[in-house]
């Protein structure tokens, strides 16, 4: 049982990754970002998920340093933006170095291809492999990859991504992808786990939440953990940052897990990665 905020999954290269992380997409205001990241670290989160595209890598680095927590106690993820992927191999290498410098860290824990760009992601993956071999990133992975895309990079490079970060929540449970990743040693990480703020619309969660004395958000985050999925909720409010981390003292029954699984509608709030035109 996953029973504390510092509990980790072991990735396919033996690196430990915390089950719970803090997402910082759409936190653009530096003061708000600084407050949110420091509040999350104070609440015990030890993993932060950012991206070049979020425009806040520098501010994440500053907040981490100001927190006083030693870098090696934390797990920091960032992502390769699509424009750099389109520019090719050398641009990927440069993009990583730029992200690393902006954050002010000697190394990063996880670097992800943010979205699959057809005809470009294999080259990007080869550049990521080079960075990994150089030791500046502890693990490399992808984001928004469908099964056939994962199969493609594995077939063409022989290197299995450590992580696939995808949109995943009660209306998009991604069961076939989760199954495929499980079989291939790829850790699934759920983004937009609270449906980018639409969680309250899932009325069925209210009864489950009342039964456990928890909130719908906590029920969903616990459902992720019990499926073996890393989860990275975002909030700028102290009470919610704490609430979203208070998910380690209860266990959903098999029946309640299945009830949440059955809410699937294959509904996406973000674009289908099959058609990336941004
Ligand atoms: N790889 C990708 O392409 C990708 C795409 C999207 C997201 N992500 C990552 O995943 C992270 C999380 O996804 P997300 O930011 O889309 O959304 P999310 O975590 O699903 O939901 C965040 C929204 O829910 C609200 N919220 C937070 N805690 C709540 C609670 N306990 N009860 C009710 N509402 C709550 C937040 O509002 P307040 O902030 O006002 O509290 C915010 O509007 C991102 O920050 C990012 O790191 C990655």
Q: Could you list the pLDDT tens digit for every one of the 278 residues in the chain?
A: 899 999 999 999 999 999 999 999 999 999 999 999 999 999 999 999 999 999 999 999 999 999 999 999 999 999 999 999 999 999 999 999 999 999 999 999 999 999 999 999 999 999 999 999 999 999 999 999 999 999 999 999 999 999 999 999 999 999 999 999 999 999 999 999 999 999 999 999 999 999 999 999 999 999 999 999 999 999 999 999 999 999 999 999 999 999 999 999 999 999 999 999 99
| pTM of this prediction exceeds 0.95 | yes
**CA 199, CA 158: separation in Å to the nearest integer?**
38
Q: How far is CA 90 from CA 86, 127, 140, 273, in A?
A: 11, 7, 17, 24
Taking residue 10's Cβ as centre, other Cβ atoms within 10 Å add up to 10
- CA–centroid distance, residue 130 to ligand 1 (Å): 32
- CA–centroid distance, residue 234 to ligand 1 (Å): 4
User: pLDDT tens-digit profile of 198-208?
Assistant: 999 999 999 99
Ligand 1: does its nearest atom lie under 6 Å from the Cβ of 78? no
In degrees rounded to 5, what are phi and psi of residue 18?
Answer: -60, 140
**CA 170, CA 195: separation in Å to the nearest integer?**
8
Identify whether 54 is a catalytic site residue. Answer: yes
The pair of three-digit structure tokens given for residue 149, joined into one six-digit string:
């895309």
User: pLDDT tens-digit profile of 213-231?
Assistant: 999 999 999 999 999 999 9
CATH architecture of the domain formed by 8-197+229-234: Alpha-Beta Barrel (3.20)
Domain spans of the chain, in order of start: 8-197+229-234
- CA–centroid distance, residue 269 to ligand 1 (Å): 11
Per DSSP, the three-state class of 174 is: coil
**CA 114, CA 76: separation in Å to the nearest integer?**
15
> Vertex 72, ends 167 and 233: CA angle to 5°?
25
């Amino acid at each position: 049982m996953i029973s504390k905020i510092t509990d980790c999954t072991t990735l396919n290269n033996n690196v430990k990754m915390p089950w719970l992380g803090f997402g910082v997409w759409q936190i653009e205001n530096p003061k708000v970002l600084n407050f949110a990241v420091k509040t999350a670290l104070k609440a015990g989160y030890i993993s932060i998920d950012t991206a070049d595209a979020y425009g806040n890598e520098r501010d994440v680095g500053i907040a981490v340093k100001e927190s006083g927590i030693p870098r090696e106690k934390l797990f920091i993820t960032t992502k390769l933006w699509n424009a750099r992927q389109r520019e090719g191999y050398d641009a990927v290498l440069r993009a990583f170095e730029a992200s690393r410098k902006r954050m002010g860290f000697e190394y990063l824990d996880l670097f992800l291809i943010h979205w699959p760009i057809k005809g470009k992601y294999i080259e990007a993956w080869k550049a990521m492999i080079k960075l990994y071999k150089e030791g500046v990133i502890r693990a490399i992975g992808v984001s928004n990859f469908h099964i056939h895309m994962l199969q493609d990079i594995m077939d063409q490079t022989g290197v299995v991504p450590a992580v696939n970060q995808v949109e995943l929540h009660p209306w998009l449970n991604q069961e076939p992808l989760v199954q495929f990743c499980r079989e291939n040693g790829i850790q699934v990480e759920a983004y937009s786990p609270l449906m980018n703020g639409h969680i309250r619309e899932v009325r069925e969660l209210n009864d489950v939440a009342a039964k456990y004395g928890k909130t719908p958000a906590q029920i969903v985050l616990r459902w992720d953990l019990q499926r073996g999925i890393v989860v990275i909720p975002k909030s700028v409010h102290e009470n919610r940052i704490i609430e979203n981390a208070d998910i380690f003292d209860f266990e959903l029954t098999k029946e309640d897990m299945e009830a949440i699984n059955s809410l699937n509608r294959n509904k996406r709030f973000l674009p289908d990665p099959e058609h990336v035109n941004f």
